[in-house]
């Protein structure tokens, strides 16, 4: 499935950061997952990373394609050591929505932004921390 005729060449970097445990090809994508806790979706037409899906907190051990009634891949299911099974859409718009949700969740909330530079520790906790750091 990763062939030179589909724009994948020997010099391409398909980086994962750690061991890849599972690979699932479709007509449009090559989906990989592994020890780095991310499901990566590669565009078969260009050979480039389309998106990286975050949601597992431990190594991903397998990927399973979920097909619709016509037999076309509709979702990808990832299974992790964190004892979770997650499903992800395979349509571009669905993937884009998931990535956007993850990015939004990483942004600080309004409450966190209002606190700004103020300490989240009490005076007693700050004194205890300072004492521990002096040791």
Q: What tens digit of pLDDT does each residue of 112-128 get?
A: 555 555 667 777 778 88
pLDDT at 119: 64
Q: Give the pLDDT of residue 134.
A: 80
The pLDDT of residue 129 is 81
The predicted model scores a pTM of 0.68
Closest CA to 53 of 13, 24, 12: 24
* Residue-wise pLDDT tens digits, 36-87: 999 999 998 888 889 999 889 999 999 999 999 998 889 999 999 999 999 9
Question: Please, which residues have CB within 8 angstroms of residue 123's CB and are 6 or more apart in sequence?
Answer: none
Condensed to tens digits (0 to 9), the pLDDT of residues 1-30 reads 455 555 555 555 567 777 899 999 999 999
- 4-108 maps to which CATH number? 2.130.10.10
* Residues 35, 19: Cα–Cα separation, whole Å: 6
Long-range contacts (CB closer than 8 Å, 24 or more residues apart) made by 77-86:
78/22, 78/33, 78/39, 78/53, 80/37, 80/56, 82/56, 82/57, 82/58, 84/55, 84/56, 84/57, 86/39, 86/55, 86/56
Half-sphere exposure of 29 (CA within 13 A, CB side): 24
pLDDT band for position 107 (50/70/90)?
A: confident
Domain ranges of the chain: 4-108
């Amino acid at each position: 499935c990763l062939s030179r005729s589909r724009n994948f060449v020997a010099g391409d970097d398909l980086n994962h950061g750690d061991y890849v445990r599972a690979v699932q090809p479709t007509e449009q994508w090559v989906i990989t997952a592994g020890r780095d806790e991310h499901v990566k979706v590669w565009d078969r037409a260009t050979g480039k990373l389309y998106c990286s899906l975050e949601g597992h907190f431990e190594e991903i051990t397998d990927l399973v394609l979920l097909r619709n009634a016509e037999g076309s891949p509709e979702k990808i299911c990832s299974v992790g050591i964190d004892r979770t099974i997650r499903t992800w859409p395979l349509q571009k718009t669905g993937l884009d929505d998931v990535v956007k949700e993850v990015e939004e969740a990483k942004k600080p909330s309004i409450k966190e932004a209002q606190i700004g530079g103020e300490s989240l520790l009490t005076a007693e906790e700050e004194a205890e921390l300072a004492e521990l750091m002096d040791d």
